Every structure is written in structure tokens, then in C-alpha cells.
Amino acid sequence: MARCEPVLDAGPIYRRADETGAASLPEVHASVAVPSGGTWLRRFLAFLGPGYMVSVGYMDPGNWATDIAGGSQFGYTLLAVILLSNLMAILLQGLAARLGIATGRDLAQTCRESYPRPVGLVLWFLCELAIIACDLAEVIGTAIALNLLFGIPLVAGAIITALDAILVLFLMQKGFRALEAFVMALLAVIFLCFIVQIALAAPPLAAIAGGFVPSTEIVTDPAMLYIAIGIVGATVMPHNLYLHSSIVQTRDYPRTEAGRRDALRWAVADSTIALMLALFVNAAILITAAAVFHDAGRTDVREIEQAYALLSPMLGVGIASTLLALALLASGINSTVTATLAGQIVMEGFLRLRLPNWLRRLITRGIAIVPVVVVTWLYGERGTAELLVLSQVVLSMQLPFAVIPLVHFVSQKRRMGSFVIPFWQKALAFAVSGLIVVLNVKLLADTALGLG
């Protein structure tokens, strides 16, 4: 008999499962137990995890290229962009969690059910492009880390990343909590590596504080704007909105008005804390590049390999470069897990098409590997670095097509019921969407005119 959830007068309209399709990520839906009583800490720990899964996308290898280039070229100026991007991410991820918890549908499912099929197919295609762009960053970052740590050629390293499908399959079989624990362990490695890096670089605190103050130069300088939009694209990831709206539903909270409201409170706290960790990591990468390279006059450092080669000699500490490469490898492996889940959510949500996880992962990873191998073969490391930054700009270009539908849905009273966002939050969310669109249009105009 199909499960029927209650219709609440003050809440969203809950429909029968056979009327709305399968649950999002059905194999892990409501699979994580939540205590009905006990201390607030026990309940918080039960909800701890999805926010850290989402935060992976905010410190993936794509961030490294843009943050290193931004710190080397422009010093601490773009810290304001990192802070703004993180605040935008906290807002948008909170809205994604709200949609998933309040309606029981992820963003992809909601798009399919709400828009005409041609519109849904366009949104699906654009989201797949974003996932491929993210995959490009993961492939390049992991291949670079393997090269730096073990001397594996970039082309071979890129091909090796195809084996990540086995890792994801293994972790999924162990349960969603095991998947979250794996991700959080690697996040801890990244965090510790950059605590040491910041201590070694010893950047001036006054310059850091000044960098968090926005400057008009960020918009008026085309070169700086290009990196700034790359940072936005690398920080606020389109597919993360789909991911978060789904994985918050892995918790077995009561599907009632009170149960959903409690779940939303803990989910937002989880993602906010996790994204503050991402803010530290992104800022640490840029601050390290600014303190070590820009302040020493090396404004030409654009590539991760350059940063690796110069970091230890310029700091006078042999372990500095190794820590950078180790954190990069952890970042690349982590991004593999979350991109795989996002790809599954997007395909199943938009198309109702279920493929074996290993097959879907091999297809998307194969699409990403081909351009990396070709560019590396033809242009070497410099071409790979440029492709990495370009992939983040492409991600930023896809953002409006995920953000605008999300804001639209959580603003609908008939869909969200008592969970509809207040007017001030709606205005702020649309302002963020408008800012993203304006920045993208400015970038396209500068590129067309040859100013970028």
C-alpha cells in the first residue's frame, strides 16, 4: 500500500508517493535515525553531516586555482568576494534545505513537476554541464595532486580518477553515515593542513582585515572581475543546491509540521557551521598566496604546480608544499563523492531515469576526462591550469538557472505552506540572484569586447 502523508492546513500539500514519484535517493531516504528525545547535542549530532557533504563543493580543486590566482595577482583584495560568496552560499543552501524538508521533494523533482517538459529538459542539460565543469576541476585537481605527491604524469592521473566509481559504490554500501564520516575525515585533513599553512605564512592581520572590505576595483578591473566571478562560481555551486535539497531527507524525522520545522532548524545550523569551515579554507588559500607570493612580488603565480614548487623555498619550510598537495588530494577525492550523488539526484529527479551508480559515474567522469587529457597532451600544465579556472567561470554561468527556480519555489505559499520564506528573505534571495546575473552579463560583455 502506498505511503500517504497527512495534509496539513497550515503546511505544504503532501501527496501520496505514487502520485509524486519515488523519494529522492530512495536507497538512503530516511535511513539515519533521529532521537525523539534527549539533549539538544544528541539531536544536533543526528543531523550533522549533510552540511559537510555540501561544504565539499565550496572547497573543491576549482577553488584552489581561482584563490591562488586571485591572491597572487591582487593580494588580499578578493577576500571580500570570498566572504560575499560564502554569505550567499549560506542563504541559498538554507533555502535548498527548506525546500527538501518542507515538501519532501528535491530541487530537480520540483522543477520536473512544476515546469513544462521542454523547460525541464533545458534546466537538466544546464545542470549536467555544471556537473561536468565540476568534474573537470576534480579530475585536474586530483591528477595534479597525484603528480606532485607521487610523480604520476597528469594524463595518467586523469585516467586514474575514473576508478573513483569503485570508491563511491563501496561507501554507499556501508550506509549514508559511513559516507558522511569519510567526507568529514578528509575535511578535517584539509582544515588541519591550512591551519599549519597560515601559521607558517604569518600574514599581516591588518591586510587581511582590509581585504574583507569590498572595493569598486573588483568590478571595474576586467582581469579582477574574471577571477572574482571564478571565485563565485567555485564557491556557490549549482549542483550543491540539488544535492542539499535531497540529502537533508536522509534523516528519519517525523514527517509532520513540528517534525519538519525541527529538522529545518538543525539542518540550517549544520550547513551554516560547515560553510564557515569552507570560508576558512578558501580564505586560507588566498591569504597564503597573497602573503607568500604577492607580498614578495611574485604576481605571476597562477597554477597549483607553481604554488607547490615555490611555497617551501619561499617559506623556508620543507613540509609546506607537501601539505598543500595532501590537502589538494583530499579535496579532489571528497569532491568525487558529492558530485556522484548530485549527478544521481539530477538525472533521477529531472528524467526519472535510474542508472547503476558506477555506470552513471563512469559516463560523466569520462566526459570530463577527455578534455583534460586532450588539453594536457597539447598544451601541458599551463593549458590545464587555464581550463581549471575556465571551468569555474562556466559553473558561475549556470548558477542563475538553479538559483532562480529555487527562490521561486520557496516563495510559493501554496507549495511551502507555513514554510514559505518571509518577504525580506525573498527580497534578499532575489537580490543575490540579480547580482549573479549582472556579474555574468558584465563578464560576457568584457569578454566579447576583448577586455577580459
The three three-digit cell numbers of residue 205, written as one number: 592581520
DSSP 66-111: HHHHHHHHHTTTTHHHHHHHHHHHHHHHHHHHHHHHHHS--HHHHH
**Position 435 in a domain:** yes
With both helix axes pointing from N to C terminus, report the angle between 304-315 and 257-292 in degrees, rounded to the nearest 10: 60
Q: pLDDT truncated to tens, each residue of the chain (452 aa)?
A: 334 443 333 344 443 333 445 788 888 898 999 998 778 889 999 999 999 999 988 887 777 878 898 999 999 999 999 999 899 999 999 999 999 999 999 999 999 999 999 999 999 988 888 887 777 777 788 888 999 999 998 888 888 877 776 777 777 778 889 889 999 999 999 999 999 999 999 999 999 999 999 988 988 888 888 888 877 766 677 888 999 999 999 999 999 999 999 999 999 999 999 999 999 999 999 999 999 999 999 988 888 888 999 999 998 888 999 999 999 999 888 887 788 788 888 888 998 877 776 676 667 666 667 776 777 776 666 666 677 667 767 777 787 889 999 999 999 999 999 999 999 999 998 888 888 777 777 766 665 666 55
pLDDT value of position 434: 82
The three three-digit cell numbers of residue 335, written as one number: 569532491
The three three-digit cell numbers of residue 121, written as one number: 529538459
**Position 11 in a domain:** no
**Position 297 in a domain:** yes
What is the chain's alpha carbon radius of gyration, rounded to the nearest angstrom?
A: 21
- Could you tell me which of 305, 28, 354, 361 has the C-alpha nearest to residue 174? 28
Report the number of distinct structural domains present in the chain: 1
- Could you tell me which of 181, 134, 176, 166 has the C-alpha nearest to residue 357? 166
**Position 32 in a domain:** no
The three three-digit cell numbers of residue 386, written as one number: 587555464
pLDDT value of position 452: 52
Look at residue 251 and give its three-state secondary structure: strand
**Which CATH number fits the domain that encloses residue 349?**
1.20.1740.10
**Position 38 in a domain:** no
Answer for the pair 408, 119: CB distance below 8 angstroms, yes or no: no
Tell me the C-alpha to C-alpha distance, in Å, between residue 409 and each of 13, 397, 415: 13, 21, 7
pTM comes to: 0.86
- Could you tell me which of 207, 284, 246 has the C-alpha nearest to residue 406? 246
Residue type present at position 247: I
pLDDT value of position 103: 95
Report the C-alpha gap between 122 and 253 in whole angstroms. 34
Report the C-alpha gap between 241 and 399 in whole angstroms. 10
The three three-digit cell numbers of residue 81, written as one number: 568576494
**Position 19 in a domain:** no
Report the C-alpha gap between 85 and 83 in whole angstroms. 5
Number of H helices, E strands in the chain: 21, 0
Answer positive or negative: Cα dihedral of 225, 227, 230, 236.
negative
Answer for the pair 226, 302: CB distance below 8 angstroms, yes or no: no
**Position 321 in a domain:** yes
**Position 283 in a domain:** yes
Residue-number span of the structural domain to which 75 is assigned: 49-448
CA torsion 170-173-174-177 (nearest 10°) is 110
The three three-digit cell numbers of residue 253, written as one number: 524525522
Report the C-alpha gap between 291 and 198 in whole angstroms. 9
Report the C-alpha gap between 70 and 289 in whole angstroms. 8
Residue 445's Cβ-side half-sphere holds a number of Cα atoms within 13 Å equal to 10
Place of cell 595532486: 145
